[in-house]
Amino acid sequence: MNLLDTDALIIVDVQNDFCPGGSLAVEGGDQVASTLSGVATRFRIKGARIFATQDWHPEDHSSFEAQGGPWPPHCVQGSHGAELHKDLQPPVGTSIVRKGADKAVDAYSGFLDSNLEEQLRRTDIGRLFIGGLATDYCVLNTVLDARKLGFEVHLIEDAIAAVNVEPGDGEKAVEKMKEAGAQMTTVEEIKAA
């Protein structure tokens, strides 16, 4: 596999609130942050594009428990919890894609309530490499939407981590992504590209 300038790395929601110590922490989220920093460096060296999605919720977002949603408040606009994790060091030129600013939209997918598709189409990107948080929510929905939109998708299987509200949710999500046509890849395969 060769990385091309028509490839893109999509780093999904590697934010403080989804990492250990955050309001909706995913076990291993900090490790995903540092792993994806290395992957992003490889993409930059090869001239490929890098995008990082970022939940960017208003204080009264519909997904929050106070509004009848399933989640505690997380990734509130301008808060420490909404910032990218310190161990994620995306290279200069990384495009930050904010989503979920509409209080009525869950925006699990990086393509929902954002301009991600427009940015990818404008730069003639055809192949996506996706990693981040959480496997069973935002990564899953981003991958499924990318496939529906016709992108070739490679899931970086050792650069994801799941919430696992129910045991095995992460594994089920990976199976759904495979069934949708996502191909599996690893950090080592990307570093060798």
Point out the residues that are catalytic: 13, 99, 138
Angle between helices 140-148 and 169-179 (to 10 degrees): 10
CA-CA distance, 105 to 59, in Å (whole number)?
13
Q: Write out the two tokens for 74.
A: 């997380």
Q: Write out the two tokens for 142.
A: 């981003």
Helices (H) and strands (E) in the chain, counts: 5, 6
The residues facing 152 across adjacent strands are 127
Q: Fill in the DSSP letter of residue 109.
A: S
Q: Fill in the DSSP letter of residue 139.
A: I
Q: Where are the alpha helices (DSSP H) in 46-186?
A: 116-122, 140-148, 169-179
**Residue count of the chain:** 193
CA-CA distance, 9 to 84, in Å (whole number)?
16
